[in-house]
Amino acid sequence: GAGVSQTPSNKVTEKGKYVELRCDPISGHTALYWYRQSLGQGPEFLIYFQGTGAADDSGLPNDRFFAVRPEGSVSTLKIQRTERGDSAVYLCASSLGEQDTQYFGPGTRLTVL
Amino acid sequence: GDSVTQMEGPVTLSEEAFLTINCTYTATGYPSLFWYVQYPGEGLQLLLKATKADDKGSNKGFEATYRKETTSFHLEKGSVQVSDSAVYFCALSELSGSARQLTFGSGTQLTVLP
């Protein structure tokens, strides 16, 4: 079956611009996670959704980052006024329930020039 | 807070060599422990997991045992293959509020030469 998909696979933007990154979870998975992976590091947690609501957004670095999941399926991570330090691979994962195995998408590589 | 420390890379081995990648953790409760693998050009995949002390996770010839007394979850394989070349991440998860977020180590790059 289809896995987690993320679009775009690559995004290059200029400092100060706004970007949206999309995640399509595995069908039927209620839990959705966003992580950020900087070069040479492991992924770091950003935010977790259970259904439509953000159950834990403690990993968002600041108020320029925001994520939504309006219908409990697709999620969008939004970054305002991008900075060069935001350059990283943004990973999405989904799981059947909150205590189940997380399946990861291929990631979106964001480069802020 | 929770943290995971894993063996610095890169690691280069010859085919059929024995592999150990060390992983230790710090956690406030009783976490579940995981090894994820990232093959070149692919996304993170769960390799194996263990949910309580003394459990052994295994998959594709890889094994890791949850050692609470030493807070470790070392990854081992008796005979590596070229196809095992990848980046390996140790991770833990602990219920935090309603979430089961993963905390990852920094990854170990493994290269297996023919």
Instruction: Determine the number of helices (DSSP H) and then strands (DSSP E) in chain A.
Output: 0, 11
Q: Which of A55, A91, A105 sits opposite B98 (nearest CB)?
A: A55
Question: What are the pLDDT tens digits along chain A (113 aa)?
Answer: 589 999 999 999 999 999 999 999 999 999 999 999 998 899 999 999 998 988 889 999 999 999 999 998 999 999 999 999 999 999 999 999 877 889 999 999 999 99
Asked whether the beta carbons of residue A98 and residue B96 sit closer than 8 angstroms, the reply is no
The CA distance from A47 to the nearest CA of chain B, in Å, is: 9
Interface with chain B: mutation pick from A49, A52, A89, A98, highest number of B CBs within 10 Å: A98
Q: With 0-12 CB in 10 A as exposed, 13-18 as middle and 19+ as buried, what is A77?
A: buried
In this predicted model, what pLDDT tens digit does every residue of B23-56 receive, in sequence order? 999 998 889 999 999 998 888 999 999 998 999 9
